[in-house]
Structure 1
Amino acid sequence: MSHAKRTLRQLFTGPSSSLLPLVVMGCVIGVVAGLVMASFISLLNLMLGWLNGASLEDFESLSMGWRFGLPILGSILLILLYRITPASAQTVGLVYVLERLQFGRGRLPLANTMFQFVAALISLGSGHSVGREGPAVQMGAGVASLLGQYTHRPPSQLRLLVGCGTAAAISAAFNTPLAGVLFAMEVVLMEYSILGFAPIIASAITASAFTSSLLGTHSILTPTRLSLAGYGDIPSLLVTGIWVGLVAVLFHYMVRLFLRFPIKSRAVRLLLAGVIAGSLALWVPQILGSGYDTINATLSAQLPWLLLLFILAAKLVATAAAIGLGVPGGQIAPMLMLGVCAGGIAGALVPGGSEPGLYALLGMAAMMGAMLHAPLAAIATVLELSLSAEAMFPAMTVVLTANLVCQHGFRQPSLILTLLKERGRLLQTHPLRAALAQRYLSELASFRFVEVDLAVEQDLAAILEQPRPWLVIRQDEHCYLLKKSVLEQAYQQQESAQPITLSELLTPLLNANLQLIELSEDASLLTGLKILQKEDTRGFLIPIARQGLGLVTRRRLVKMLTSDEPMY
């Protein structure tokens, strides 16, 4: 039994250079995230079933009074939820996850994850024009972060585990493990790494299998076999990409308009979002909720293009209002619906022999790729929904065209970056700075020093006997770094016959060039380098959980950046 316990402990807390503990953690995260998402989906389906019957998303069947009043009721419940929740727990969603990855060392508090669970149920159940992907990412990432903190993973691995939680949640919610993996690496982590692929894939497939075992087949979008009729339709694909790119640009402008709406009160903003959604739903009830029933109907070419045009216009306003006015929910499902409507319109009007449903599917992927700057995740979505590799060529054509229009033609950033900027947060997008912002000083920390406080009498002989080569010396409000060999040499050279105190021996050896900067919390390598540019310091003292203070010298940091020494 003791051998089994030791083996299990090694699996979770093995050396940071080992891939196996991360893969095992990825599987555990997949199971836990799958359980959380299964609970969330079951509760949401229960609410939607009570409202709409077996079709769940059929808000069109509601009376006009319910269509208008349901989003407003949801806004009132959200206002009450915000009133009883501490302010520190109210920030949620995909944007919050990215913010915590770059500015919070990947630590996601449990309270925010619980708030997201309840707030998302209210938003989605009351028909607000939001999706379940943002909440799914928050909940999966929150679970992963808590497990990573419990097992004391270093910050860079905690970041990777958040990616595992994201992939697990997307995979569990939509039964699309490949799209979940690419979404986690392209949108959340914003990097591809050999170390990251194995744990994230393990997490995604574990979550998908576990959730399917609990809920059975639960694909939200109906897989549809669609392919390009012929290469003569390429001009139509290019036109479709340009059209969807323009819709994405318009949507981006509308979101910014509502973000800057001149109302500061959260309660009033939420009520306004509910009134807008309810008013539009009186005439176009398809805009309520995530709209997956409308997406599936469009993919199977059941809706005329004129109705799709009305849905597109109303959904643009309702979704921009929900996102810009702060309704807690995801942005991706509404994007997919906007894209599928735009693509369906193009499919009905452009010449060619391909089915209109193919253009609807391509429009969905192009909208997601253009708004999130995530072309690979968008193309993977097409692959998993079309069940055909033949859809890859048209998907790449339309997604690339829409991205060029949105990202380069109109210089639109990712919607996530826009939302972060409105909150005063700027993510590092330069590859080198981003890499430095994603690694932390604590990963370089050494504990091979003796801490000496000159305000307290300490035994000089006991200090000299310590096997550690460095001394961290506190004098008044300053900290200094000194080699113990320097103290030994000074002790041997002192000529006075009178006993000399430790303070008297050390004080002449200290100067400004030996000073250390003591940080109140861990910092990224980018932050450390910025400090070194401004301060002539020997290094940093940083607090590290359970281990106390850690030492990172200037020489150690420079050596890591200029040598082949691995980070892990």
Structure 2
Amino acid sequence: VIFAMEVVMMEYTLMSFMPVILASTMGALVAQVMYGNAPAFRIPEVALGSLMNLPWIVVIGLVIGLMAGLFIHISRSQRLQTLPLWLRLGVVGVGTGVLAWWFPEIQGIGYDSVAAALNNQLAINVLLALMVAKLLITAITVAGGVPIGIIGPVLVAGAATGALGGMLGGWLWPEKAADPGIYAMLGMAAMMGAVLQAPLAALMALLELTHTPNIMLPGMLVVVVACLTSRQLTGCEGFFISSVRYGLHPLQQPLMQALSRVSVPAVMERQLVRTERMITPDQARRLLETNPMWLVIERSSEEKPVLALKAAELARWLLEHDEALDGEAPPEDELIDLLEIPGQRLEMAPIGLQATLSEAFLKLQDSALGALYVVHGYRPKQQRISGIITRGAIERYYHYTDARQTDARETDS
């Protein structure tokens, strides 16, 4: 839940928090039913021992922060993007194969390597390969535009770095140093927090892995140091934010995030009447008796777009028409062509009642339409128009919400 809020949603609001909790709960239930509730890693006994380990933990956090910054810099590089796709895939595949020939542990997600690092079962040369090669190959693969996950490789590299740091600490201070498995866990959390710039998610992952609060003190220290080092010394934002800025990941921008929280019915204009193109003056007056805002003009051909006309335009035309008659009786066969009277007519396309404002905004942008009519019902013959939503209505809603939030912040301060 915390990972989704901090990395994916990048916000903490009740509206987005509740669905994430529900989705996380259902996902955990399905996973336990299908695969059981056995833990992914067997964690050694957590005992930091002496507080003399804390300065060494700070040093490890600095190293991991620099590694995370290097990873982000390489992964957002645009140089490989200029090469053909087949050549990029070839470079990544050959590089991975050559390194895997000597160190097969770098292949796959690497959870088996993490488990071995936590239990001190890997040699120093293997840990070095996981620390450097795993992180480097993953960064180059991402830079080449190959769709892969980064969470697993990041955890592997962090565990290897932490385990190496624990071994070095045990060599320097054999009487005071904690078990390398503890350093491996701290390294996992630090690397995850520094790469994603998600310290809370990293700490929650550390707590869930160990099931003990005793690890939180060194965990908070190493995660904070790694995150600050990655952000301040290397000038890197989180991996996903950097990917957005460099066009590598279609993450929502703040405008789309705000619009995706609101459904179309909250903004649509419901005061409308449906009418044919040709109507008599009496029919026009009856249409205006309900004080509609829009007239939805139905076309004879389904290939032609549905049009919307402001009801005020028809009312103005009727007023001018009556003044022009100057008390004379209008012709009995007189008809009003709603496509000919002065006024702006908006071409419209349908959108579902369950859609969000972000979907409506994108549809208006892509099709260059003036408005959308909101349809309710699933069967084509049973669908009815519930309202109209225009680009201006979406913009007014966004500016109104933004102004309210600004006023609230000024009031609180």
TM-score scaled to structure 2, two decimals? 0.75
Match of 1:444 in 2: 267
Alignment partners' CA distance in 2, 1:556 and 1:452? 28
Relative distance call for 1:497 and 1:231 in structure 2 (3 A) is farther
Alignment partners' CA distance in 1, 2:34 and 2:240? 32
1:362 CA drift (Å): 1.1
Match of 2:11 in 1: 191
1:471 CA drift (Å): 2.5
- One of 319, 324, 328 as aligned partner of 1:490: 319
Structure with max Cα Rg: 2
Q: Is the 8 A contact 1:441 1:525 kept in 2?
A: no
- One of 124, 131, 145 as aligned partner of 1:312: 131
1:516 CA drift (Å): 5.9
1:418 aligns with 2:256: no
Match of 2:341 in 1: 507
* Residues paired across the two proteins, number: 367
Q: What amino acid maps onto 1:202 in structure 2?
A: L
- One of 371, 375, 385 as aligned partner of 1:541: 371
Match of 2:301 in 1: none
1:391 aligns with 2:215: yes
| 1:96-107 equivalences in 2 (<5 Å) | none
SS of match in other structure, 2:278: coil
Q: What amino acid maps onto 2:371 in structure 1?
A: L
Alignment partners' CA distance in 1, 2:233 and 2:223? 14
Q: Is the 8 A contact 1:244 1:367 kept in 2?
A: yes
SS of match in other structure, 1:231: coil
User: Could you report, residue by residue, the CA deviation over 1:319-347 in whole angstroms, capped at 9, with x for unpaired residues?
Assistant: 22332334433111001001111111222
Relative distance call for 1:435 and 1:307 in structure 2 (3 A) is closer
Relative distance call for 1:402 and 1:517 in structure 2 (3 A) is farther
- One of 265, 271, 286 as aligned partner of 1:465: 286
Relative distance call for 1:282 and 1:556 in structure 2 (3 A) is closer
Match of 1:358 in 2: 182
Q: Is the 8 A contact 2:373 2:389 kept in 1?
A: no
1:382 aligns with 2:180: no
Match of 2:85 in 1: 266
The two structures, once aligned, show a CA RMSD in angstroms of: 3.8
- One of 310, 313, 321 as aligned partner of 1:481: 310
| 1:323-334 equivalences in 2 (<5 Å) | 323-334=142-153
Q: What amino acid maps onto 2:217 in structure 1?
A: F
SS of match in other structure, 1:217: coil
Relative distance call for 1:559 and 1:410 in structure 2 (3 A) is closer
1:306 CA drift (Å): 4.2
Relative distance call for 1:247 and 1:424 in structure 2 (3 A) is closer
Alignment partners' CA distance in 2, 1:307 and 1:216? 31
| 1:159-238 equivalences in 2 (<5 Å) | 181-238=1-58
Match of 2:96 in 1: 277
Relative distance call for 1:415 and 1:301 in structure 2 (3 A) is same
1:363 CA drift (Å): 1.0
1:277 CA drift (Å): 1.1
1:398 CA drift (Å): 0.9
Relative distance call for 1:435 and 1:254 in structure 2 (3 A) is closer
1:523 CA drift (Å): 5.6
More helix by share: 1
Relative distance call for 1:358 and 1:504 in structure 2 (3 A) is closer
SS of match in other structure, 1:417: helix
1:253 CA drift (Å): 2.6
User: Could you report, residue by residue, the CA deviation over 1:217-260 in whole angstroms, capped at 9, with x for unpaired residues?
Assistant: 34333344424324332212211111100111122233234x52
1:426 CA drift (Å): 6.8
Relative distance call for 1:502 and 1:262 in structure 2 (3 A) is closer
- One of 370, 384, 388 as aligned partner of 1:550: 388
